[in-house]
Amino acid sequence: MDVLESIFTRALNLELPWNITKIEFTESEGKIKIFIDFSRGSVFQCPKCKKEVKAYDTTEKQWRHLNFFQYACYLVVRVPRTDCTEDGILQVEVPWARDTADFTFLFESFVMTLCREMPVNKVSQIIKVDDNKLWRMMNYYTEVARKLEDYSGVSRIGIDETARTKGHNYVSLFVDLQDKRTIFVVEGKGAEAVAEFKKDFTEHNGIPENITDASIDMSPAFIKGVEDNFPRAEITFDKFHIMKIINKAVDEVRKAEAKEQDILRGQKYLFLKNRETLTDTQKDILKAIESMPRLNLKTVRAYHIRENFQGIYQEETRGEFEQALKKWYFWAMHSRIEVIKEAAKTIKRHWHGVIQWYDSKVSNGILEGLNSLVQAAKAKARGYRTFKNLKTIIYMLTGKLDYSKVGLPI
């Protein structure tokens, strides 16, 4: 064996009976081919019963491997088949790849890592591999990694829906609030999505009766879904979703009022942000608007009601929390602003689940974070074509799946 062959033997971690017989550079194609063979008379395990048998015949197979400098590297291997008395003629397993794959494990790991960081079609261009092949590989590993997931310890879940595209396609996400990971992704939304989650959850050793808390928005479909499928779960209406309702009301007030008050035009986000997070310019504008009491702007009153609602979440005891919420409700109902009253009524109708936050302290805040990852996933999966692909990339980014369990060293 020459020096180069021995370097590659070590780099590839090749063990007997495998050995390198030839290394071929094709400068013009930018390729390097490493030819691998086995010593004569070697025995191999039958892939089924693991009994040791001699090689029956061979076929040549090729696997793409990690680049060697600028060269695309391929392993060209004489792969033996065994003829086991029990199982018949079968191709033996090789240590560097799945037999049906076109890539080695290391190359697959590398590609999976790239696809987490950049759009899949871009990865496809860089490594010059058709993106359908990349998707097939990612779908395969994600599916087998998910099969091994165990949800027996999950007790607090969050549910959220996100638009798949602009339009009416929805994706529902089910999140383990403790481990901060997505445990189920399904097309559609509402009660049916929850039922599908329950089925999958049970298949992964999840125990529906162990779910003590579910954090959801106030959509009747999710409420029904949780009540039907997770009877012991206390529903918490997530603060982020309640804020969405209040923000929508505040914005409607501002929009209507801006027709007569120029000062409110173009200030949508000023009134939808917390005071501390405003920019300096926004702070100045807000101060100016607030110091003009003669205007008696509904928008300012609505903003103060919004601000007060957030303050409720700082209360120390459950009693104080509920007391503050009651006060807030009274104020909102006497605001003489119709849309604010509507928002307050919605909260009143869901009183128990709003208060429940104090005990459960669960929040979809994690989900908001995951949601932005999901948006990123959609971007990375640009041209994902099928829902299956989108699902895969969401799991890859937010599912915390253990790919090392399925043979990938990532």
Contact residues for Zn ion (CB under 5 A)? 46, 48-49, 84, 86-87
DSSP 164: S
Sheet holding 181-187, edge to edge: 181-187, 170-176, 156-163, 213-216, 234-237
Q: How far is the CB of 105 from Zn ion (least distance, A)?
A: 24
Q: Which of 17, 40, 19 is nearest to 6 (CA)?
A: 19
Q: How far is the CB of 89 from Zn ion (least distance, A)?
A: 10
Contact 306, 250 (CB under 8 A): yes
Give the DSSP H or E segment for 150: none
Please state, in angstroms and rounded to a whole number, the distance separating the CA atoms of residues 108 and 275.
48
Q: How far is the CB of 384 from Zn ion (least distance, A)?
A: 40
Sign of CA dihedral 350, 354, 356, 361: positive
Identify residue 384 by its one-letter amino acid code: Y
Contact 360, 352 (CB under 8 A): no
Query: Which one, 4 or 49, has the nearer CB to Zn ion?
Result: 49
Please state, in angstroms and rounded to a whole number, the distance separating the CA atoms of residues 156 and 233.
8
Strands 156-163, 213-216: parallel, antiparallel or unpaired by DSSP?
parallel
CA dihedral 407, 408, 409, 410 (to 10 degrees): -140
Please state, in angstroms and rounded to a whole number, the distance separating the CA atoms of residues 325 and 313.
9
Q: How far is the CB of 59 from Zn ion (least distance, A)?
A: 18
Contact 144, 404 (CB under 8 A): no
The reply to whether omega before 47 is within 30° of 0 (cis) is no
Q: How far is the CB of 58 from Zn ion (least distance, A)?
A: 18
Sign of CA dihedral 90, 94, 100, 102: negative
Render 197-221 in DSSP notation, one character per residue.
Answer: HHHHHHHTT--GGG--EEEE-S-HH
Which whole-number Å values give the CA distances from 175 to 59, 288, 319, 368, in the listed order? 46, 43, 30, 11
